Structure 1
Amino acid sequence: MSSFLFRVGRFSFRHKWWVLGVWIAALAVVFSLISALQPKFAQDFEMPGTDGGTAMEQMEEYFPAVNQQQTEASTNIVIAADDGLAKHASEIDSLVADLKKLPEVTGADTIANPVTVAQAMPDKAAAVLGDDGRVGLIALHQGIDLMDVTVDDKDAVLDVLAEHRTGGLQVEATGGVMSAMEQGGTAELIGFAIAFVIMILAFGALIAAFIPLVTGIVGVILTIGLLTLSAEFMSINQTATAIVMMLGIAVSIDYALFIVSRYRTERARGGDPADAAARAVGTAGTAVVFAGLTVVIAVAALTVIGIPLITQMGMGAAVAVIVAVLGGLTLIPALLGAFGKYAFTPRIPWIKHAAPGPDTETLGTKFGRSVTKRPLPFIAGGLAILIAAAIPASGMKLGMDTVSDDQVAGQELIAQGFGEGIGGELYVVLHTDDGTIDTVATETIDSIKKLDGVVAPATLAWMGNGTADPKNPNVGADSAIIVVTPISSPSSDETHTLVEEIRDLAPAAEAAGGELHVGGQTAIMSDLSAKLDSALIPYIAVVVGLAFLIMIGVFRSLWVPLIGTLGFVFSVLATFGITSWIFTDGALGLIDHTKPLLSFLPIFLVGVVFGLAMDYQVFLVTRMREEFMHGMSAKDAIIAGYRHGARVVSSAAVIMISVFAAFMLAPDTTAKMMGFALAVAVFFDAFIIRMIVVPALLALLGDRAWGLPKWLDKVVVDFDIEGSKVRDAGLLTENEDLVEAK
């Protein structure tokens, strides 16, 4: 492989303008198609093959009007007054009048003062007025597709609410247009700015620091463009873009940093610049390919879970990594060729050891000598830190609470007046192919009324799809919907239990001649959590197993992959612990509203962090193996690995941590939590496991770390990860013979 990549690097360097032109053309084509097709991301969660997914499919088929209503913005306006809403009739009437003036309001007659509704229709009082008349609920429905809701729509509602928060009346909102999020950009800009500063420190030159930044920008823009374009042909949830942005920026810059750093080393060795670029791609590029491959396996394997959102995240992230690898192998040498002799100018004179020589004593080599001299204290200290950080993971709670901070006040008022389940209704869908649904629907309602955790069970009713009498759709209906509001919050264990208890009524419905399914976003989230729980262990087995086999081929060792994999276990458990401590326990006050970890976070974190962990394993340890294979002792090879790799790996890790941590500034909870967890995971894995524990264990093992059993050595393919076939290509020998790539 190194010989092939050598040729790719030399071609890209020498034909720089063609290569750059191809990348620019790719961007132009993708965004021209986006402009022409105007694809849109989905914002709903789909779960095909589950009970909730079946319910939603039947709703779409038998109750298209109800299903259409589900896709439009329905915002709950919550009002409250400590002295009772009845004393604020005029203020509430004024609020209702202004709400009716909002754009695309449908069913304006249903927007009413809850006090007036309760007085006129006592049977509906419990649905609109709660907490002894101190909390009221106003339903605002707008004919705006949830996929098209904008921040302007949200601001229009918020402006009305702000105007009417007077005289002791509290006015809040949840759901509907409140789901609109501010456009991203701040986090990405901060991440790029920090990355640029770190690369200046790493290279000691401005242009060299700029090159990986360009690669990162181009790679991320192209990936997001491809993901956006794919939304025209398949359902792509907007949530999937967050992790693609995070991972795409981080790995693009990391891979570019690794190759540019190796190019600087090869230029110092002499020879033609094109050959130096080729050697950099043939050696460091080989490591990048296998590092990228482990990440791709880790994130693409998320498809085995069978959840569309997780599949979209995984495949989007895999595309981001592939684009980053291609950028490192072609775009980087092309940019180096374009800048030519100016690539490492202007130099920053006060930055020392930007280009360490073979005998340079850097901080990395000093630390490496300490680790190899007394490895046991470093191993014990590193693992002790991770074990302490992992302790809170024992109480880790999972859920699908994705409510943004500006909806929390409204949710708390709803819970105070009506229970936490308002806005998280369950849709019980009944259907029969034999006659009418009347008997099945009536018996099902009677059974649901006996269940715990249902709001106002006495008011439960069913709605049919009969067409004979428009005023009474229950006549001649073969399908029915029962809307059940749980008392508990949508993400709680109690609601999950209620969903399963209703589904347990399916055999009775079947005996009566019908079928029963429970849908709605709350039920879908419940199915999502259950499916994730059951898929976690098989997923880990697939990812770790495949990556372990690849690492055996990369390092031609059993010990190195084994140590790397076990180290990952420690770092990911520590990450679960710290993230739970911050977001669920509320430690350090970093977030205003505590909540359980997102149900898909553990499984996604395992995939992404395992891939990234192997990145750093490859970047640092391949240089150690390279020096060992070229004659150094085991301990000297480790120190040499620190000399050449510590600065690059540290810089890459800090860049990735900065990019991920910057996403804590994002407005949605998903991006905040994932950004924090990924940043902490990279810190633990890069600085404690890869930079301390792994080299210390390799120092203990000595020469044994770098060998395979004879029987296995014969069957494992030699990928030439250390680039021995191209290590000296383009350089003159002592007899002044030019070395060619093999």
Structure 2
Amino acid sequence: MATFLYRLGRTSYRRRGIVALTWLVLFVLAGVGASTLSGDTNDSFEIPGTESQEAFDLLEERFPEMPDSDNTAARVVFAAPEGETLTDPENQAVVDDVVAALSQAPQVAAVADPFEAGTVAEGNDIAYADVDYGVEWGDLSEESKEALKDIAQDGRDAGLTVELSGEAVEEWEAESMSSELIGIAVAAVVLVITFGSLTAAGLPLLNAIIGVGIAISAITAATGFIDMGADTSILATMLGLAVAIDYALFIVSRYRHELAMGREGSEAAGRALGTAGSAVVFAGLTVMIALSGLFVVGIPMLTEMGLAAAFAVGIAVLIALSLLPAMLGFAKHRVLGGRIPGLRARDPESDDTGGKPSAGRRWATFVTRRPKAVAAVAVVAMIGIAAPVMDMRLGLPGEESMSEDTTQRQAYDLVSEGFGEGYNAQLTAIVDASGSDNPQGAFDQAVESLSGLGNVVAVSEPFPNEAGDTAILSIIPENGPSSAETEDLVSDARDLSDQLASDTGATLSVTGNTAVVIDFNQKIADAMAPYLAIVVGLSFILLMLVFRSILVPLKAGLGFLVTMGATFGLLVAVFQWGWFGIAENTGPIISMLPIFLIGVVFGLAMDYEVFLVTRMREEYVHGAAPTQSVVTGFQHGSRVVTAAAIIMMSVFGAFMLGGEDFIMQVGMALAAAVAFDAFVVRMTIVPAILTLLGRRAWWLPRWLDRLLPNVDVEGEKLAKYLNEDGRKDREPAAVGS
């Protein structure tokens, strides 16, 4: 591996024009493909194999005249001024005008008049009208969204309180783009400080922009051939940008180190790729395994996002191994120049700090002198932070968790005030009596059984289809959509199906948005164990190949569990318990966050593990004592790992500026996980444990050593090839030979 990458680095450096032109052509072709081949995105949210999804499918089959369940919906909530009612002639005229305007609005398929549909509260002071659009959310035009807002404002101007909720009100603000720009800006500052050179700092950024541009353009072009959601590329953009900067950072850092040792340009590029490039390959493979493993969950949306992000990471690796050496060939020794006033260009891997040991060396020396105490304090602190995880509740925060100044939250509160919180959590029961001799009797028994359950406010009369063999029932719970009581109600209602089938031959299934969320949460929970087994198992094998050790991969995996525990403990304290006043509204942790974090953070954690520990193993293989190899390897890798972690934290932490609690959860979780893993686990606990293990850290049974292929990440074969006294005065064999 190392020798191959050495040859690839030298070839790319020397043939930089051809390599750069090739990637430029790919960049242009990907852009052209995105603009000419892309198709419509598919924004339907399906959870195959769940009762709620099967019920939706049955609903579409038996009630073809009803609106598609994938259609976008909105709810318009009216409230009369204090002391008045909506049935007052003037106020009712306003409601009628709003409903009439909505029925004529763009893309609206149907509007339920509250006075005809019976959606007026008992006190006649609050009512709501449900609006059905004939298109999915991704196809909803800006004209339709603006029309909805304008009509609601007309109602407000006429004297009523009018608030909006539902999918049609959702918007993707430019916050995500601004967040990425903030992350890039911080990354640029960190790179400048790390290298002290504009040229050296600019190469990783340029590398990342080209890589992400190609990846996202290719994903966009693929929508013309494959059904994809509009949000598929979000994770790919975020991760592709972050890892591309990191991978380039490590290689450029090693290249500058080789130049500082007096190597000529192509030789420095070859050695940088043969050493740091090997770590990039295996770090990238680990991230790709973790992301691709999301298919285990069985939710198409997550599978698409995982595969797209894995593709973006793969492009980042390929560009780092080919285009980056070519760019170094154009820059040559200028990566050591172009200095920023007030900052001196320095080799991030050197120990040159004016005669004093670097901060990395001082920290590594401190840790290796007191490994037991350092490891104990760090582990106890992380366990303490993780303690709140025992109280973690998972869910999908809805409109009830939005900021109180949003129209969605105000609409939710008005419905709760006028009808009860359960009206925001309506369930739909479908009675399939196609196998029953008495369908009407089955419908009546279903109503009676459901009405007898606890936590039920009301059950509607059966609404049969034209064939009379299937009926729809609406169930109003007593509690809100994210409450444990409503979750129990869904389970209890579904349990009635067996008795109904035994008595009447009919079956009962429960669906609706609330039931979909509950099924989604359960699907995520059920997939957690197999996902961990696949990702950790494959990554363990990969890390055994890298480190030729059993204990080092085992330690890496256990360290990751410590990181996850501390991250979720912090999330529970902040977003469930309301500590520190960061969350405006407390509530459950996003249900998809655990498995999403495992996929993303596990890959990033193994990045830091590979970059730090391969340097330690490299020193050990080349003859250093175990403790000295830890100190020296840490000294060489700590500065760039620190810079990489700060860049990641900046990119992810910028999402906390989104304002909504669920966006803040994602941003804080990713930023905190990177901080915990990089600075506590990889840069504190890992060197302490390796010091305690000594030579045993690198132990591998002989039979397993013979069985595993030697990928030579530490460059032992490369060192022999170069004779360690200087490169042989002959050209290396052709790449790939």
Fold equivalence (TM over 0.5): yes
2:419 matches 1:418: yes
Unaligned runs of 5+ in 2: none
Which residue of the partner structure matches residue 13 of structure 2? 13
How far apart, in 1, do the equivalents of 2:390 and 2:553 lie?
27
Which residue of the partner structure matches residue 299 of structure 1? 291
204, 208, 214: which one aligns with 2:206:
214
Task: Give the partner amino acid of 1:546.
Answer: L
Can you list the C-alpha shifts for 1:391-449, whole angstroms capped at 9, x where unaligned?
Answer: 22121111112435432222122222223343543332333555784443333223222
Distance 1:37 1:61, change over 3 A: farther
Distance 1:518 1:211, change over 3 A: same
**Secondary structure at 1:483 match in 2:** strand
How far apart, in 1, do the equivalents of 2:585 and 2:595 lie?
23
**Stretch deviating more after TM superposition (70-79 or 540-549):** 70-79
How far apart, in 2, do the equivalents of 1:18 and 1:101 lie?
62
How far apart, in 1, do the equivalents of 2:34 and 2:506 lie?
45
365, 374, 381: which one aligns with 1:378:
374
How far apart, in 2, do the equivalents of 1:393 and 1:106 lie?
45
Which residue of the partner structure matches residue 62 of structure 2? 62
Which residue of the partner structure matches residue 104 of structure 1? 106
Q: Which residues of 2 match residues 279-294 of structure 1 at below 5 A? A: 279-294=271-286
Can you list the C-alpha shifts for 1:272-291, whole angstroms capped at 9, x where unaligned?
Answer: 42232122112111101111
2:653 matches 1:665: no
2:85 matches 1:85: yes
The answer (yes or no) to whether the contact 1:729–1:739 under 8 Å persists in 2 is no
The answer (yes or no) to whether the contact 1:291–1:618 under 8 Å persists in 2 is yes
Task: Give the partner amino acid of 1:681.
Answer: A
Give 1:209 deviation, angstroms. Answer: 0.8
Which residue of the partner structure matches residue 46 of structure 2? 46
How far apart, in 1, do the equivalents of 2:60 and 2:727 lie?
79
Which residue of the partner structure matches residue 568 of structure 2? 576
Can you list the C-alpha shifts for 1:133-173, whole angstroms capped at 9, x where unaligned?
Answer: 33222333444432223555444433444454469843321
Which residue of the partner structure matches residue 565 of structure 1? 557
How far apart, in 1, do the equivalents of 2:24 and 2:96 lie?
53
Can you list the C-alpha shifts for 1:342-392, whole angstroms capped at 9, x where unaligned?
Answer: 333302364357205755321111211111122233212322321221122
491, 510, 513: which one aligns with 2:501:
510
Give 1:655 deviation, angstroms. Answer: 0.2
2:524 matches 1:532: yes
2:444 matches 1:442: yes
2:482 matches 1:486: no
Task: Give the partner amino acid of 1:733.
Answer: D
162, 173, 177: which one aligns with 2:164:
173
Can you list the C-alpha shifts for 1:224-256, whole angstroms capped at 9, x where unaligned?
Answer: 333334444444334444333322221111111
Distance 1:23 1:463, change over 3 A: farther
Distance 1:547 1:237, change over 3 A: same
Which residue of the partner structure matches residue 597 of structure 2? 605
Give 1:730 deviation, angstroms. Answer: 6.9
Distance 1:508 1:725, change over 3 A: same
How far apart, in 1, do the equivalents of 2:155 and 2:429 lie?
37
2:367 matches 1:366: no
Distance 1:16 1:65, change over 3 A: farther
Q: Which residues of 2 match residues 590-669 of structure 1 at below 5 A? A: 590-666=582-658
Give 1:713 deviation, angstroms. Answer: 2.4
Which residue of the partner structure matches residue 385 of structure 2? 389
How far apart, in 1, do the equivalents of 2:461 and 2:493 lie?
14
Give 1:97 deviation, angstroms. Answer: 2.1
Distance 1:92 1:588, change over 3 A: farther
The answer (yes or no) to whether the contact 1:39–1:232 under 8 Å persists in 2 is yes
Q: Which residues of 2 match residues 401-480 of structure 1 at below 5 A? A: 401-403=397-399, 404-405=402-403, 406=406, 407-434=408-435, 437-457=439-459, 459-464=460-465, 466=466, 476-480=467-471
2:331 matches 1:336: no
Give 1:193 deviation, angstroms. Answer: 0.4
Percentage of identical aligned residues: 39
Which residue of the partner structure matches residue 712 of structure 2? 720
The answer (yes or no) to whether the contact 1:392–1:577 under 8 Å persists in 2 is yes
2:312 matches 1:320: yes
Distance 1:532 1:141, change over 3 A: closer
Distance 1:338 1:486, change over 3 A: farther
Task: Give the partner amino acid of 1:626.
Answer: E
How far apart, in 1, do the equivalents of 2:26 and 2:473 lie?
51
**Secondary structure at 1:504 match in 2:** helix
How far apart, in 2, do the equivalents of 1:658 and 1:279 lie?
30
676, 688, 693: which one aligns with 1:701:
693
Unaligned runs of 5+ in 1: 467-475
Which residue of the partner structure matches residue 149 of structure 1? 140
Distance 1:377 1:155, change over 3 A: farther
Distance 1:197 1:151, change over 3 A: farther
**Stretch deviating more after TM superposition (648-657 or 432-441):** 432-441
The count of aligned residue pairs is: 720
How far apart, in 1, do the equivalents of 2:658 and 2:727 lie?
60
Which residue of the partner structure matches residue 469 of structure 1? none
Q: Which residues of 2 match residues 158-307 of structure 1 at below 5 A? A: 158-162=149-153, 164-165=155-156, 169-183=160-174, 184-307=176-299
How far apart, in 2, do the equivalents of 1:370 and 1:257 lie?
27
The answer (yes or no) to whether the contact 2:464–2:472 under 8 Å persists in 1 is yes
**Secondary structure at 2:172 match in 1:** coil
Give the TM-score, by structure 1 length: 0.90
Give 1:593 deviation, angstroms. Answer: 2.2
